[in-house]
Amino acid sequence: MAKLILTHEVTGLGAPGDVVDVKDGYARNYLLPRGLATGWSKGAEKDIASIRKARKSREISTVEGAAAVRDSLQSKSILVSARAGASGRLFGAVTTGDIADAVLAAGGPSLDKRKIEIDQPIKALGEYQVKVRLHADVAATLDVRVVPEA
């Protein structure tokens, strides 16, 4: 078992600043190469406070505030325009950054693209549902419509 400090949110594992024990292969092959975690040491333990402080400043502090943001997000229509071929297939895919930009353009709040979860890659025109984690206890489901670029 490897002891690590998470530097980014990992679904099902923890939030930035959490100290976790994971299997060696998971740490070596997934978390460390992607920069999602760093090795734990007594010196690195001091960094946890700064990671947690930065996380607190970025996240929505109360459940009520997150619920209000969720309600406003779910009432909005999110349009993402992308280049597509004649058959409706996209040149590339719609990313979480594209969705975050579309939410901002629709008058919504600024979202961290790492909090947006796409189940299947969006590679065609149409309507999709995307999950956004706003708080540990609150998640929003966005209806995203991908339309061809004009």
| Co-location of 33 and 81 in the same domain | no
pLDDT at 36 over 60: yes
| Co-location of 38 and 112 in the same domain | no
pLDDT computed for residue 41 by the predictor: 83
| Co-location of 22 and 75 in the same domain | no
| Co-location of 140 and 100 in the same domain | yes
| Co-location of 128 and 103 in the same domain | yes
pLDDT computed for residue 57 by the predictor: 60
| Co-location of 123 and 71 in the same domain | yes
Q: How many domains does the chain have?
A: 2
Q: What pLDDT, in 10s, does the model give residues 58-115?
A: 555 567 777 888 888 888 889 999 999 889 899 999 999 999 999 888 888 888 888 8
pTM of the model: 0.66
Q: What pLDDT, in 10s, does the model give residues 43-66?
A: 777 777 777 776 666 555 567 777
- The boundaries of the domain holding residue 21 are 2-58
CATH number, position 75: 3.10.430.100
Angle at 74 between CA 73 and CA 78, to 5 degrees: 70
